[in-house]
Amino acid sequence: MPFRSGGGSSGGGSGTVTNVTVAADSGVGGSITTSGTITISGGTGVTTSVSGTDVTVNTSAASYLSTVTKATNYTVLAGNDVVFCNVSGGSITITLPSAATDGRVIRVVDLGSASPSGNQVTIDGNGNAISGASTQTLNSQYQSIIVVGNGSDYFLL
């Protein structure tokens, strides 16, 4: 079955789908290799169309990062993309998730209160290395770091 991508912010492309694996949330499912029905349903802003053997999926939905602001020690949760840090009241530690999930990107940002001689933000890898170190430190105003997991450790981008 040919496919064509509408592009968008993640690019586009085309090709041929020769095997489709269908699985429920539990991971149990089957595959469609020569015939069958595929149902594509999306949320707000997702549309689908079929023309012959071409299936097109488009989205107009906006994508935003999830943010939290912290002034005390905090462990990053699954839904957090950006952690803003206010250390005007004292140094804090932001602890990354214990599982350095492959491809997960996390941003930690100082809101302007860190300083080399005063309060700092420590980012703790929670048992995982962060580009070879167990911690990283934000000690300048408005400094930030971005880390990405590779399945076993975090790396600075």
pTM for the model: 0.64
Residue partners of 16: CB distance under 8 A and separation at least 6 = 1, 2, 3
Domain ranges of the chain: 2-59, 67-156
The CATH H-level (homologous superfamily) assignment of domain 67-156 is: gp9 (2.60.120.640)
Helix (H, G, I), strand (E, B) or coil at 40: coil
Query: In the structure encoding, which two tokens stand for residue 80, read together?
Result: 């957090």
Instruction: Tell me the per-residue pLDDT of 22-37, one tens digit each, with 9 for 90 and over.
Output: 554 555 555 555 555 6
Residue partners of 125: CB distance under 8 A and separation at least 6 = 96, 100, 133, 134, 135, 153, 154
The answer to whether residue 12 scores a pLDDT higher than 70 is no
